[in-house]
Structure 1
C-alpha cells in the first residue's frame, strides 16, 4: 500500500510504502483514535462549565423574576390598601351626609318617611376582619359598587329635598304674613263700620294701620309690583302680586318707593305712610285679595 503525503509548501509529494497489512490497520487505528480524541476534547471543553453553573444561572434568573413579581404585588397591595382607606373616607362622608339630611328633614318639618337618611347601606365596605395585608379584590369591588349605589341614592334624595325646601321657602316668602308696618297700631278692622265721611254704614274691605306720617310701609310677602301710583279712593297705592292667587294692596301712601314690574322681598320697604286719597289721617289701608276676592287680613297679620 502506497500513501502519498503532500506538504503545505507545495513541494514534491512524499510516498509512504506499507508492505504488510497490519501496518495499514495500525495506521487506520491511529487516525480513528486521533479523530475520536478531537471529538472527546470538544465534549471535554464543553463540559468544563458544570451543570451547577447552569442551575445557578437559572436560579438567579428565577430569583430576579420573583423579585420583580414581588415588587408588582407589593405595589398592587399598596394601591389596594390605599383604595380601602379611600373607601372608608367616602363612607365617612356618606355618614355625615346622612346626618345633614336627617337634620334638614327635621328643620324643614318634612315627613321623615319620605326621606330616609337613617337606613344602613345594603353592603358594607371592607370588613374589620380584613388583615393588614391587601384587602380582597372581590370585597373591594363589592364595596365600591355598594358605595356608588348609596351615593347616587343620597344625591337623589338631597336633590329632591333641596327642591322641597326651596319650594317651601318660596311659599313662605310669597305667603302673606305679618303687619304692613314696623311701628303703629290697628285703627280699623275688616267688616261693617260707620263711614267716617258720611256716618252711614259701610263694609270695610281691609285693615287700617295708623302711625306717624312718613313711617315705613313694608311688603308682607315677596312678589312683583303690579301697581305703583295714584288710584281712585286709595290715593298713592302699591299693589303686589304674590302668585298662587294672592295679591296685597297698600293705600294712602305719602310716597311710593317701588315701580311696576319690580320684584320685592318680604319685609322690604315699599312706601312711606301718608294720608292721600280718601283718608282722615296718616295710615295705611291694607287689603289681602285671594283669587280676586277681598278677604279678612286678620289671620295673615297674626302669622309671623
Structure 2
C-alpha cells in the first residue's frame, strides 16, 4: 500500500510506502508514552505528600488546638459576663442604699418630697445640638465611671447627713421651754423678798408651783451631772447640755434619773415636791451659762431656731 504526497508549493507529488511510516509512528507513540509516564512519576510524590498521614495528624492537632482555644474563650467570656452581673448587682445595691439615705435626709430636713424624689431619675434637658461621631467607650470603663459617681454622691450625702445630724443635735440641746407640763410661775429671777426672812435677797432662778408629784421635764437633751440632795435645794437634778449650758431642777419629791444618764428633750426626770428650803410643792429652775446663773425667762419663752 502506497500513499501519494502532493506539495502545495511546487505542485509536485511523491509516492511513499506505508511501511516506511511505521518506524516514525512507533517513535512518536513511544515518545508520548514515555513523556506521560515521566509526568506521572514526577507528580506522584507530590500527591503522596498531600495526603500523607503526618499531614493529617498535623491538621487534626491544629483543629484540636483551635477547638480548645474556642472553649477557653467561651469560658473566659462567661466569667467576664458573670463578673459584670455581680458588679451591676453591687452598684444597684449601693444605689438602693443611697436612695434610702436620701429619703431619710428629706424626712430629717423636712424638705418637700415632691422636689426631692429619689424614686425617679433626675429631670434633664437642653436645646438640640448637632450630632457628632460617637464612639461607645469600653463597657468596664462605663461601670468604673458609674462607681466613681456613686462614690462621690455617697460622700456628699454623708456630709449632708452629718450636717443635718449636727443640726438635729443642736436643736435637741437648745435650751428652750418650761420644766413642767402643768403649773404656773410663782417667783421670778432677780431680787425678791425672801419667803422665810422677808429680807431682800437675790433669786438665781424661777419657781413654778404645781401639784405635788406632777412631772418635771428636761428642757433640752444632755447628761445628768447631779442627781441627789444638795443643801438649800433639797433633791436636785442637774443636767449639762453642752456649749456651756447647765440647768437645775430643785425641791423634787422623787428623782427618776441617775448620775451619768443621757436624757432627751421632754424626758420626765423627777416629780414635783417641797424638799429643802421650800414653802410648798414647786420646782426651782435655774439656767447657767459658762458657770454663771442667767435669767431663765428668755430661755423659757423662746422656740427652737432650727
- TM-score normalised per structure 1: 0.62
Label 1:247 to 1:90 Cα distance change in 2 as closer, same or farther (>3 A): same
Aligned length: 238
- The alignment yields a C-alpha RMSD, in angstroms, of 3.8
Is the CA contact (8 Å cut-off) linking 1:287 and 1:294 kept in structure 2? yes
- Write the deviation string for residues 28-49 of structure 1: whole angstroms up to 9, x where unpaired: xxxxxxxxxxxxxxxx9xx989
1:82 maps onto 2:116 in alignment: no
Q: CA deviation at 1:76?
A: 1.9
Alignment match, 1:100 = 100
Q: Mark the runs of 5 or more structure 2 residues left unpaired by the alignment.
A: 1-43, 112-117, 124-135
- Write the deviation string for residues 141-178 of structure 1: whole angstroms up to 9, x where unpaired: 31343244234324433443454344334333433244
Label 1:139 to 1:217 Cα distance change in 2 as closer, same or farther (>3 A): same
Q: Equivalent residue of 2:253, what SS?
A: strand
Alignment match, 2:240 = 241
Q: Mark the runs of 5 or more structure 1 residues left unpaired by the alignment.
A: 1-43, 112-116, 121-135
Is the CA contact (8 Å cut-off) linking 2:224 and 2:263 kept in structure 1? no
Q: Distance in 2 between matches of 1:245 and 1:232?
A: 24
Alignment match, 2:57 = 57
190-199 vs 224-233, which deviates more? 190-199
Q: Distance in 2 between matches of 1:141 and 1:227?
A: 61
Q: CA deviation at 1:199?
A: 6.2
Q: CA deviation at 1:284?
A: 0.7
Q: Equivalent residue of 1:212, what SS?
A: coil
205-214 vs 95-104, which deviates more? 95-104
Is the CA contact (8 Å cut-off) linking 1:173 and 1:265 kept in structure 2? no
- Write the deviation string for residues 163-217 of structure 1: whole angstroms up to 9, x where unpaired: 4344334333433244323443444444566655566766644332222212332
Q: Equivalent residue of 2:109, what SS?
A: coil
- TM-score normalised per structure 2: 0.62
Q: Distance in 2 between matches of 1:268 and 1:98?
A: 33
Is the CA contact (8 Å cut-off) linking 2:183 and 2:208 kept in structure 1? yes
1:1-304 matches, within 5 Å, as 51=51, 53-109=53-109, 139-190=138-189, 196-197=195-196, 204-260=203-259, 262-266=260-264, 267-302=266-301, 303=303
Alignment match, 2:10 = none
Q: Equivalent residue of 1:99, what SS?
A: helix
Q: Equivalent residue of 1:150, what SS?
A: helix
Q: CA deviation at 1:236?
A: 2.3
Q: Distance in 2 between matches of 1:178 and 1:168?
A: 18
